[in-house]
Amino acid sequence: MRVGVFLGTQHPAGADMRQQFENHVQQTRAIRDGGYDGIWLAQHYLTYPDQFFQPNPLLARLAAESGDLTIGTNILVLPLHNVIDLAEQYATIDIISNGKLVLGVALGYRDIEYEAFGVERKTRAKRFDEQIEALKLLWSQDNATFHGDYINFDNVSIRPRPLQTPRPQIWLGAAADPAIRRAAVRGDNWIATSVTTASAMVPQAELYHRARAEAGRPKADGFAKCVELFVAETRQKAIEIGGPYMADKYRAYYSWGMGKNVPGVSGEGLDIEELIKDRFVVGSPEDCIREVVEQRDMLGVTDLLVRMNFPGMPLDLSLKTLKLFADEVLPHIR
């Protein structure tokens, strides 16, 4: 199992964003030196009063510190983007990263983003499908032509082309069953959310593999899963120290509507100890090893995207957590 770090780039209203940027550079070095496999950045717009770094420029800068790490987006809100601009922007990032890019995309779920970009939310699924196919064409061939309801171009050749051939992988984030079917049919991999409980994800993992088979696609080794994680010397200490930061992050998520598209109990309104159960990995190194292995074996996860830093968390605590996980958990879960 590969383990990447989903680097949290959302920060509170009063945060010094220049310092937070420097912190992300330090975190990336720690991730690289700790033996992790990748670094992943998210995207949201209009998070006021919270502050959220945009992934394109930050990924380009962090790539200089990333060594052999995969660098990826988890996720871009694809329907908000012009696909030709996206193709050239991320071809550039693939070159900067020496061919280590994975582009993670999803539909998104926040009305404020769709309204601000002038995109009708009801068109997002069809638009998304067309964008995925158009992006594959733009990255893999010259003189590309595509005609759909929302995406249209004739005889287009982008430059630069990505370094990877035929193209970088495109992973699709999905929480609801229709989106999981789309990930199986159109994506190179599925990124499962951290909000859905592991138990509720069992039938979704079966759906993913079944949908791939029905579409005549090769059997997947597994899929990627986001996991909120905090490790400390004891479980109680992990909950006491990491719990409040996780709770604040999930208050933001639920206020944005994140819980509305997941199966089973979304977790909204639960206290942090209840929210953690069957979702997050929080505890001592031994607890984390056990819980990660349980999720890996129960679901067939091949790529774990762990987030260990949360809005407002001090840098020294983030670095301590990254090192403790790298030293005492990582060697036992691969």
Kindly report, residue by residue over 93-113, the tens digit of the pLDDT: 999 999 999 999 999 999 999
Q: Structure tokens of 35? A: 């033996």
217 — pLDDT class (breaks 50, 70, 90): very high
- Res 269: pLDDT: 67
Helix H, strand E, coil C: the string for 146-186 is EECCCCEEEEECCCCCCCCCCCCEEEEEECCHHHHHHHHHH
Q: Which residues pair with 39 in a beta bridge?
A: 5, 71
- Res 104: pLDDT: 98
Helix ranges (H only) for the chain are 17-33, 55-62, 83-96, 111-117, 124-140, 177-186, 198-214, 235-256, 272-276, 285-299, 315-328, 330-333
Q: How many CB atoms lie within 10 A of CB 21?
A: 16
> In which domain, by residue range, is 128 found?
2-333
Q: Is the pLDDT of residue 226 over 70?
A: yes
Q: Structure tokens of 76? A: 């871009």
- Res 263: pLDDT: 62
Contact 160, 88 (CB under 8 A): yes
Q: List the Cα angle 28/32/33 in 5-degree steps.
A: 115
CA distance 334 to 171: 21
Q: List the Cα angle 234/236/242 in 5-degree steps.
A: 95
| CATH number for 179 | 3.20.20.30
- Res 267: pLDDT: 55
Among 70-74, 257-261, 263-267, the range of highest mean pLDDT: 70-74
Q: Is the pTM of this model over 0.85?
A: yes
Contact 54, 87 (CB under 8 A): no
Contact 104, 40 (CB under 8 A): yes
Q: List the Cα angle 80/85/87 in 5-degree steps.
A: 100
What total number of domains does the chain contain?
1
- Res 256: pLDDT: 78
- Res 249: pLDDT: 84
